Amino acid sequence: KLDLESKDIESIDATKLSRFIEINSLHLVTEYNPVTAVGLFNSMIQIHLLLLMNKASPEYEESLHRYQKAAKLFQGKILFILVDSGVKANGKVISFFKLNESQLPALAIYRTLDEAWDTLAITELSVEHVQNFCDGFLKGKRLRENHASEEKTPKVEL
């Protein structure tokens, strides 16, 4: 049922409406796999936060619950992604962020526009850790320093 007056319809901004629909059609947390990868990289949301964790670990369920709570705080600003480190094919994603299995679980944040990224090793995932890490990245604070002399990471298709 459409209760909009014709003047209301004329004032609808198509771009804002499109963004609203895309943001609200996304899961709070999307699991990374070959099927979802294309959609993730084509998303309007340009900042992605990845939880790199083995789904078989005893802490997984509680960590995922906290990650989902944090995702609500950044809905529409940051895309929250789960990368199961127990899946061999996801090793490329983990190595892209210069991490290895012994450094997991970890958070990795990535901006698609300029390919800026940062990582945070975590012993226990909390909403506060996620919030502080995301807020810091959004404000331009980085834990991992990039130096001009550092070799540029070659582009790897994930």
Domain boundaries, the chain: 28-138
Query: Which residue in this structure is represented by tokens 């331009």?
Result: 140
Q: Which residue did the predictor score with more confidence, 89 or 153? A: 89
| Average pLDDT in the chain | 82
Considering the entire predicted model, what is its pTM? 0.76
* Distance from C-alpha of 83 to C-alpha of 85, rounded to nearest angstrom: 6
According to the 3-state scheme, what is the secondary structure of 61-107? HHHHHHHHHHHHHCCCCEEEEEEECCCHHHHHHHHHCCCCHHHCCEE
- Is the predicted pLDDT of residue 109 greater than 70, yes or no? yes
CATH number of 28-138: 3.40.30.10
Whole-number Cα distances in Å, 137 to 25, 132, 140: 25, 9, 5
* Distance from C-alpha of 54 to C-alpha of 15, rounded to nearest angstrom: 38
Quick one: tokens of 144? 């991992």
| Section 109-131 average pLDDT | 94
Quick one: tokens of 119? 């990582």
Of the candidates 109, 115, 113, the residue with the CA atom closest to the CA atom of residue 141: 109
- Is the predicted pLDDT of residue 23 greater than 70, yes or no? no
Sheet strands side by side (includes 29-31): 29-31, 78-84, 47-53, 106-111, 117-121
pLDDT tens for 30-79 read 999 888 888 787 788 899 999 999 999 999 999 999 999 999 999 989 99
- Is the predicted pLDDT of residue 13 greater than 60, yes or no? yes
- Is the predicted pLDDT of residue 148 greater than 80, yes or no? no
- Is the predicted pLDDT of residue 3 greater than 90, yes or no? no
Residue 152's pLDDT band (cuts 50, 70, 90): very low
